[in-house]
Structure 1
Amino acid sequence: MMILRLALAVVISAYATAQPASTSSLVTYIFGDSLTEVGNNNYLQYSLARADFPYYGVDFSGGKATGRFTNGRTIGDIISTKLGIPSPPPYLSLSQNDDAFLSGINYASGGAGILNETGIYFVLLLL
């Protein structure tokens, strides 16, 4: 079950040309839940699943909360570092005309799941 969860948590696609891989030819797109989130939920107005409080990110560069549900880096950050490229930004932090779409994006969202019921406890219902 844990292996299945990890397989669903991170999907990284790397595109390399026929020449030896260079940092300009590698692109990462990350899909997942809180294990790989880098701050998308910070841009959701009605989400209770947020990691922008003290102690989240205390071991991350800068020592401040970044939206990661960890005190440091996520697996996506670690893999990006190993590939020699920057960690992709949160999808919701970009504008539609941003060129960052071409160099990779992190779509992960804390509380995400396959079933509609998965994240129901993390949504602020306005009654």
Structure 2
Amino acid sequence: MSRTTAALAASATVFALLLAGCGDDSAATESAPTTTPAATGQLDASKAGMFVVSYRNAFPKLAEGRDDAALSGLLSKTCGDITAGKSKDDVVAGIEKNATNGTTTATTQEAQAIYEMSKFMC
């Protein structure tokens, strides 16, 4: 299976997980205390965790030698660029640069797949 196909499969998995979290929680919310959403610029820890797992599965060569904090930092940077209104091409170019590790260079296709994965998390 090619990396792009694996990335698309990981994106679909992440999307399905996000949709599963959007179900009817009326019984749970009636007894749960109200919380405030995360401050702008901060990522939800569960979304960052899903991104890290999906990234490691879809891009094992790019994830090699990087810890979870570095990978969630890539998501944070990408989300910042997206919410700042940068064009898709600019964001993808930034991902190519930031996703490249010491031994493996991210391709444009990989960067585009990471962009699509990141959009779901932002």
Using the size of structure 2 for normalisation, the TM-score is 0.29
Comparing both chains, which one has the higher relative contact order based on Cα–Cα distances under 8 Å and sequence gaps of 6 or more? 2
Using the size of structure 1 for normalisation, the TM-score is 0.29
Greater strand proportion: 1
